[in-house]
């Protein structure tokens, strides 16, 4: 890369030699003209706007190749300048753009520059794809929880690695992302570059979600929105990753409820269909759930239910469900004194996945050793990838059917209920409750718990 000082000197020398007065300098440090969304293009457009306003007559650049690699944006910029009767000149490429031949040469040079940018992009894409096929990240940005050396690659960091694993487990246990952010900011670790703007260097809910959602701590690599197996060690087990995804999906759309101090935040709905928000309402500032539409749109009168009433109703419903499950279990055991062994369907699926992954690895090795043409490699890879995706989907389906829907089954929830935090209790309830429907009324509201199938 040529330094900005060298480029500026070339432009100033060109201007002095051609009796051009420089009235302003616009720089695009570390901004590429190859990308149509680069911040450089708005700056060029603003400069052309100044030309339209009569503030300047021409624009001098160091090289056309540094600004004209995106075909459409470059063509639009040239057309605007030519329509205004102005010029874009290169300090190092003597092209007379006022003539037909000069414009042709300038357009041809722009196409060569775009071709070079495309060629470089394809080379980088092939390099990234090859790294991912071999279980390595496409780029070399740091990963939180891991240290990197050229000899060993990514390995769990002795300090941040265990912290990353603890974040997953605490989230699975029901802790909110906001509570985890506070815990992280009180600790010794800070985000690494590449997970969002540096800002004040502290953790935010957006940054922590990006770290956890990346799946890198589970031994995975995300590339073009898809997850691939990595060669780096994981800090959590595959089961913990699956549990994290389940918890993430259950909480999706309830981000406000995650930090709420009310047990049923995000779960209570009015019979009119509107959500009910928790808060302190009335002259006595009592904890209640209030219908959003009744309050904001006046769709019906009232719209309140005391938080204690609806929460006790839910706990009673949960207790009855628990007792029914125990009774059904005892009845089943009495009717089936000799349980027979049932084959595990997931074992064969896992074996098929392992064999298919080995086939893909062998194909990747042959492709590198034999310098296999890309189209040949893709044709052979496609059916293997399709089979792997189908098997993985079948495995997830089996695991979902076998997974216990409620964490509370393994403990005596009615003995330990008070020992759990509000977010943990709410996460447990979300596993079995879709929503609670409330019909506000006097002297007492009616409630109905809608469970998950």
pLDDT digits (tens, 9 = 90+) for 169-214: 999 888 888 888 888 988 888 888 765 544 567 888 889 999 999 9
What pLDDT shows up at residue 31?
A: 60
What pLDDT shows up at residue 169?
A: 92
The answer, yes or no, to whether residue 412 has pLDDT greater than 70, is no
pLDDT more than 70, % of the chain: 85
Q: Pick the closest to residue 131 from 224, 269, 66, 245 (CA basis).
A: 224
Greatest mean pLDDT among 163-167, 180-184, 372-376, 394-398: 163-167
Q: Pick the closest to residue 57 from 32, 80, 87 (CA basis).
A: 87
Greatest mean pLDDT among 108-112, 213-217, 387-391: 213-217
What tokens were used for 333? Answer: 């055991």
Question: What's the rounded Cα separation, in Å, for the pair 154 and 314?
Answer: 47
Which of the pair, 341 or 50, is modelled with greater confidence?
A: 50
- Contact between residue 128 and residue 138 where contact means Cβ atoms under 8 Å apart: yes
- Contact between residue 40 and residue 66 where contact means Cβ atoms under 8 Å apart: no
What pLDDT shows up at residue 408?
A: 44
What pLDDT shows up at residue 226?
A: 85
User: What average pLDDT does range 99-121 have in this prediction?
Assistant: 76
The answer, yes or no, to whether residue 421 has pLDDT greater than 90, is no
Lowest-pLDDT range of 5-9, 11-15, 325-329: 325-329
Lowest-pLDDT range of 41-50, 115-124, 301-310: 115-124
Strands (E), 139-190: 146-149, 153-156
What pLDDT shows up at residue 58?
A: 87
- Contact between residue 59 and residue 50 where contact means Cβ atoms under 8 Å apart: no
Q: Pick the closest to residue 165 from 112, 211, 230 (CA basis).
A: 211
Maximum CA pair distance of the chain? 102
| 0.75 exceeded by pTM | no
For 279, the 3-state DSSP assignment is strand
What pLDDT shows up at residue 77?
A: 81
- Contact between residue 264 and residue 289 where contact means Cβ atoms under 8 Å apart: yes
Q: Which residue has the tokens 């680069």?
A: 38
Note the Cα 277 to chain centre separation in Å. 28
């Amino acid at each position: 890369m040529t330094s900005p000082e060298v480029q500026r000197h070339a432009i100033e020398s060109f201007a002095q030699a051609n009796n051009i007065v420089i009235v302003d300098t616009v720089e695009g440090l570390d901004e590429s003209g190859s990308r149509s969304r680069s911040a450089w293009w708005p700056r060029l457009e603003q400069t052309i706007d100044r030309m339209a306003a009569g503030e300047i007559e021409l624009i001098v650049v160091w090289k056309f190749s540094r600004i004209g690699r995106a075909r459409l944006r470059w063509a639009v910029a040239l057309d605007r300048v030519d329509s205004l009767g102005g010029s874009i000149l290169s300090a190092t490429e003597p092209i007379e753009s006022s003539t037909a031949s000069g414009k042709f040469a300038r357009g041809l040079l722009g196409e060569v520059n775009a071709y070079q940018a495309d060629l470089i992009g394809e080379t980088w894409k092939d390099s990234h794809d090859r790294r991912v096929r071999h279980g390595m990240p496409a780029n070399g940005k740091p990963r939180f929880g891991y240290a990197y050396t050229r000899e060993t690659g990514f390995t769990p960091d002795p300090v941040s690695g265990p912290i990353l694993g603890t974040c997953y487990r605490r989230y699975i246990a029901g802790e909110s992302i906001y509570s985890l952010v506070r815990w992280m900011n009180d600790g010794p670790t800070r985000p690494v570059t590449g997970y969002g703007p540096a800002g004040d260097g502290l953790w935010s809910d957006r940054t922590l979600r990006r770290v956890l959602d990346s799946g890198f701590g589970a031994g995975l690599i995300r590339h073009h929105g898809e997850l691939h197996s990595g060669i780096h060690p994981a800090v959590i087990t595959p089961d913990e990753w699956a549990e994290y995804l389940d918890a993430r999906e259950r909480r999706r759309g309830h981000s406000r409820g995650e930090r709420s101090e009310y047990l049923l935040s995000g779960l209570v709905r009015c019979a009119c269909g509107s959500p009910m928000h928790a808060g302190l309402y009335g002259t006595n500032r009592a904890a209640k759930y209030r219908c959003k539409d009744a309050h904001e749109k006046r769709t019906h009168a009232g719209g309140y239910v005391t938080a204690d009433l609806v929460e006790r109703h839910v706990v009673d419903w949960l207790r009855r469900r628990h007792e029914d499950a125990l009774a059904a279990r005892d009845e089943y055991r009495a009717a089936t004194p000799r349980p027979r062994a049932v084959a595990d369907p997931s074992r064969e699926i896992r074996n098929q996945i392992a064999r298919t992954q080995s086939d893909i690895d062998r194909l990747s090795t042959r492709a590198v050793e034999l310098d296999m043409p890309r189209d040949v490699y893709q044709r052979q890879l496609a059916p293997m990838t399709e089979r792997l995706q189908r098997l993985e989907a079948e495995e997830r389906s089996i695991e979902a059917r076998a997974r216990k829907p409620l964490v509370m089954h393994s403990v005596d929830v009615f003995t330990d209920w008070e020992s759990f935090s509000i977010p943990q209790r709410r996460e447990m309830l979300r596993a079995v409750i879709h929503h609670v429907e409330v019909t506000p009324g006097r002297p007492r509201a009616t409630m109905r718990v809608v469970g998950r199938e």
